[in-house]
Structure 1
């Protein structure tokens, strides 16, 4: 996977890098990747494929995968591997297993994405409108995403792991969302990740984690891995 720089995403990413909502801080990012292998991706892709095949060999007789499962066909397994490779680039400190991770991916419709947005992003929407002459953050996001990856041609996936598999929640976040827009024709994936952290929870987490005698770092440093 190769990180792709796109100017249409810059203003949105600058805004989402730190949105102060009073008691909470919201942070998010849009990132685009080419699905072409780069660096260690080819070796990791082969390893993930073998892991999946071994798992299927052991489990098919017990419980055959459904047609919607990301392990059910060679094409869907290839999609899963691309999604995992993208996660690896987004969260380089985590090791994502194909067998465990596939349970947390789900193909979504646009209505589900918009419902997620309305549930979690309305306060950020208000902040954006105040600073952008009333423009809609959602509409600006969709225009930028469309310019990069052509929305009409995309499959949309959400990634909703348990607590142990969620990098954001391990950093004290209240909630996090991860969506992936996959254009099979362009061989390109665009990810949208966002988290909301309670300032109170963050203070408690820092108090538990920082040893005596060490200075507390600025909260923004805790999200250093949001930048490439």
Structure 2
């Protein structure tokens, strides 16, 4: 996976580093080409080494975690069979090749601190719609930083659409157990990892964000966001 340069996303990444009194927000947007490099080819072969296994084989995904907090009636309609209410919920599936792209994106984004090569399909979910994802992200960020998010959200979603054409994307999320979660340390309030996969463009836009309590961030030695290592956020830096 090759990281693609995008000054607009770089500006947003600075803007998504926000220090509030009670919490610290650290978010980033990264655009990747799905073209395989040398290490990517090794991973792809490793994930498809078993006899009879094909990159087009389908594997089951887990339901989106955001849906699990709603009542069953709030689930999107294709999750249930209308013919027999006693049948188990249908689940989304993913091809081995697409699963490889998601894993390779995680490896590229969190390198060298984490290795996700052994991640399984049930640690991922397919999101029902872009609107659902946008509402979830907006709810989390507005609750954490309020009007700061309101001044940012138009540029955020416009830049994402310009980079990946969200209406043409399948959207996935990574929802690991606590042991595998790169944001699983004490003091983490919430986090999300979304993949916007545009098959036509052969590109993935990765949107990762977490909220950590300010006390935990200080105890763990994380630098304050007003440190010189962080660029000041200026809305004038965005194109109208």
Structure 2 length as normaliser, TM-score?
0.70
Counterpart of 2:102 in structure 1 is 83
Cα distance, 1:120 vs. partner?
0.8
**Structure holding more helix per residue:** 1
Contact kept in structure 2, 1:4 and 1:31, CA below 8 Å? yes
CA distance in 1, matches of 2:167, 2:210: 26
Residue 92 (structure 2) aligned to one of 57, 63, 68: 68
Residue 121 (structure 1) aligned to one of 129, 141, 147: 141
Counterpart of 2:232 in structure 1 is none
Q: Which runs of 5+ in 2 are unaligned?
A: 61-89, 230-240
- Trace 1:1-228 onto structure 2 (pairs within 5 A): 1-16=1-16, 18-50=17-49, 53=53, 68-70=92-94, 76-92=95-111, 93-98=113-118, 100-108=119-127, 109-122=129-142, 123-124=144-145, 126-129=147-150, 135=151, 137-170=152-185, 172-204=187-219, 206=220, 218=223
Q: Which runs of 5+ in 1 are unaligned?
A: 61-65, 71-75, 130-134, 207-215
Q: Aligned in 2, Cα 1:200/1:51: closer, same or farther, shift over 3 Å?
A: farther
Task: Say how many residue pairs are matched.
Answer: 190
Higher RCO (CA-CA < 8 Å; seq separation 6+) = 2
CA distance in 2, matches of 1:218, 1:140: 26
Indicate the RMSD between aligned Cα atoms, in angstroms.
Answer: 2.8
Contact kept in structure 1, 2:104 and 2:117, CA below 8 Å? no
Q: Aligned in 2, Cα 1:51/1:202: closer, same or farther, shift over 3 Å?
A: farther
- Note the alpha carbon deviations across 1:147-190, whole angstroms, 9 max, x for none: 11111211111111111111112374222100010000110000
- Secondary structure of the corresponding residue to residue 33 of structure 1: strand
Structure 1 length as normaliser, TM-score?
0.74
CA distance in 2, matches of 1:9, 1:168: 22
